Amino acid sequence: MGLCDTFTSLLHTHNCIAITLSAVGAAVVTGVGLSFVQFLLQTFILSGQNLNKYGAKSGAWAVVTGATDGIGREFAGQLASAGFNILIASRSQDKLDAFASELQTKYSVSTKTYAIDFSRRDANAYAGLATILENLDVGVLVNNVGKSHDMPTDFHEVPLIDHEDIVEININATIKVARLIVPGMISRRRGLILNLGSFAGAVPSPMLATYSGSKAFLTTWSRALAAELSPRGVDVQLVNTYFVVSSMSKIRRATAMIPMPSTYVRSVLSKIGLQGDFTTPYWTHGILAYAMSFVPSAWVISYTLNLHKDIRRRALKKREREAAAAKKD
C-alpha cells in the first residue's frame, strides 16, 4: 500500500510539473504572439498623434537644432508644412537665413534663426537663445544636433577633443536646450520633445564607444524625462535611428534599410505616440530592432565590432585612394 501511495504521489507531482510547464510555455508563446501583433499594428497599420495636439496651425512654434542639413532640415520643413512656425538653430548664419527664407516662401510660416556652435561651452550663446525663446509658444522641440566619430576607431586613438565634442553636443547641448523650453511646455500643459537616438545607443558599439555611450545616455534620460513630464501634458520620445542618407552617416544612396531623410522624418511624424517613450518608427529599422530583441546581446556586440572593423578598413582604403589621386593632380 505504501509503494502504491508513493507511486501515486510521484505521478501526481509529475502531472503538476507538466501542467505548470505547459502553462508557462503557453504564456510565453501568447506573450510573443501578442508582441508580434502589436509590432505589426504599430509599424504598418496604426497612425500616431495628430500634430494639432501640439499646436500645429494654431500659432505654435517648432524648434529644431542642427536644422540646415539632413534629418534636421527635413524636420523643419515637414513641421512647417504641418503648420508650425519654425525656429532653427545651427552654426552657419548664412545657411540659416537661406533656409528660413525658403520656409517662409514655401509654407507661409513665421521663422526665426539662431546661429550657435553647440560644441562650445558658451553660456552667453545659450542666454541669447533663451531671450529668443522667452515669448514663444513652443509646441515641439526636435533635439537633432549630433556628432559622431569620423569613422569607427579604437577609443585610445581618438583625439580627446573629439570625445569632448561628442559629449558636449550629444548630451550637454540637448540638456541645455530642453531646460530652456520645458518650463513653458509645462505651463501650457502641451508639448512634444523628440530626441534623436541611435541603434548605437541601444547596442554597445565598439570602435564608436563615446558616441555609443552618448546615445545610451539619451535613451535613459529621455525615458526618465518622459515619466516626469507625461502627467504634465508633455510627451517625450527617444527616436531610435539606424542609418539614414546624410552627411553624418556618409551614405549617399538610399536602400530599403537606409532611407532618405524626407522618408525617414515622414515616418517619425506619422508614428508619434504609438510606441511610448522609445520608438523605432521607420519600418525596416523596426523589423531589425524587433529581430535583435531575440538575439543574445554578446553576439550583437561581437557582430558590431566585426562590422566596424570592416567599415574602418574600407574607409582607410578610400582615403588612400583619394590621397593618391590628389597627388597625381
Q: Which residues are annotated as a binding site for substrate?
A: 198
Q: Of 54, 107, 211, 242, which one is the catalytic site residue?
A: 211
Pure H helices in the chain? 2-40, 70-81, 93-107, 123-133, 160-167, 174-188, 199-202, 209-229, 261-270, 283-292, 297-328
**What's the grid cell of residue 229?**
513630464
Q: Give the strand pairing for 138-143 and 85-90.
A: unpaired
How far from the centroid of its chain's Cα atoms is residue 184's Cα? 23
Angle between helices 70-81 and 93-107 (to 10 degrees): 30
Residues annotated in a binding site:
198
- Sole residue written with cell 572593423: 309
Does the active-site annotation cover 126?
no
What phi and psi values does residue 236 have, to the nearest 5 degrees? Answer: -125, 130
DSSP letters spanning 153-171: --GGGS-HHHHHHHHIIII
**Active site (catalytic) residues:** 211
